[in-house]
């Protein structure tokens, strides 16, 4: 196992160790969340009882392949806990998510959960959010108008930088919800709450990748061990 993969696995195992049997668990998206699915699958095979609600078609497919039982969020609208990765985590447990393009479902599932445990390798911890481009999920209708509105509201917060349409090969990347993603390279986001509120005022934005007041715990794995932020 590569070093990066083994750190993800370590974080996933530490998160699993915090879970009781019989829980309804939101399951995130991305390579770290996939390690968590693999850990879950091993325990399910040994008769550990749980039900998962996945945040993407990609995670749903992996759960099916590995025998992790899932239901839809409509079948279980309130979850005990969600375990998910992140692209960046700051000291106040504010996150940037959406690198894997699943931010809308991830946010809906996290919001529907009593608790969100973030798992990551320690390199995801930052002083200030924003080095990772902020994913913004937008409706295809009026894309240019929404793009310009994002620029405008960002400038009122002194945020500039490239905003690019995410691509999959030479085609636009399409989310599970049928939307597009704009990745905004602001560099530094000193006031994530203000940016979140400003983006929320733009009708063409379906959701953005700032997760604020959603994570309860972050489990960060490094060569030195596990750091737990809460």
Binding site for ligand 5RP (CB under 6 A): 28-33, 84-87, 97-103, 106
Among 214, 133, 212, 139, residue whose Cα is nearest residue 175? 139
What is the rounded distance in angstroms from the CA atom of residue 193 to the CA atom of residue 71? 33
Q: Say whether 98 counts as a known binding-site residue.
A: yes
Q: Say whether 187 counts as a known binding-site residue.
A: no
What is the rounded distance in angstroms from the CA atom of residue 81 to the CA atom of residue 26? 6
Q: In the complex with ligand 5RP, which residue's Cβ is closer, 90 or 106? A: 106
Residue with tokens 């992140």: 86
106 is known as an active-site residue: yes
Closest distance to ligand 5RP from the beta carbon of 32 (Å):
3
Q: In the complex with ligand 5RP, which residue's Cβ is closer, 86 or 180? A: 86
Q: Say whether 30 counts as a known binding-site residue.
A: yes
35, 60, 106, 207: which is the annotated catalytic residue? 106
52 touches 70 (CB < 8 A): yes
What is the rounded distance in angstroms from the CA atom of residue 29 to the CA atom of residue 37? 10
Closest distance to ligand 5RP from the beta carbon of 22 (Å):
25
Q: Say whether 31 counts as a known binding-site residue.
A: yes
Give the helix/strand (H/E) hosting 105: helix 103-111
Q: In the complex with ligand 5RP, which residue's Cβ is closer, 126 or 148? A: 126
Residues making up the annotated binding site for substrate are 29-32, 84-87, 97-100, 124
């Amino acid at each position: 196992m590569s070093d990066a993969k083994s750190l993800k696995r370590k974080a996933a195992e530490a998160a699993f160790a915090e879970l009781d049997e019989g829980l309804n668990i939101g399951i995130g998206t991305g390579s770290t969340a996939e390690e968590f699915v693999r850990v879950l699958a091993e325990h399910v095979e040994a008769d550990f009882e749980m039900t998962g609600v996945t945040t993407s078609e990609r995670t749903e497919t992996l759960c099916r392949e590995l025998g992790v039982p899932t239901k839809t969020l409509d079948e279980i609208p309130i979850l005990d806990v969600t375990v998910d990765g992140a692209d960046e985590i700051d000291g106040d447990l504010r996150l940037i998510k959406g690198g894997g393009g699943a931010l809308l479902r991830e946010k809906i599932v996290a919001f529907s959960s009593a608790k969100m445990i973030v798992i990551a390798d320690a390199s995801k911890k930052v002083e200030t959010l924003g080095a990772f481009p902020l994913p913004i999920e937008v409706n295809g209708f009026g894309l240019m108008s929404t793009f310009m509105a994002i620029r405008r509201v960002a400038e009122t917060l002194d945020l500039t930088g490239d905003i690019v349409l995410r691509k999959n090969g030479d085609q636009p990347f399409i989310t599970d919800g049928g939307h597009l993603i704009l990745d905004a390279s602001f560099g530094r986001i000193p006031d994530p709450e203000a940016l979140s509120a400003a983006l929320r005022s733009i009708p063409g934005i379906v959701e953005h990748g700032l997760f604020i007041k959603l994570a309860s715990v972050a489990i960060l794995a490094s060569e030195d061990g596990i750091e737990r932020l809460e």
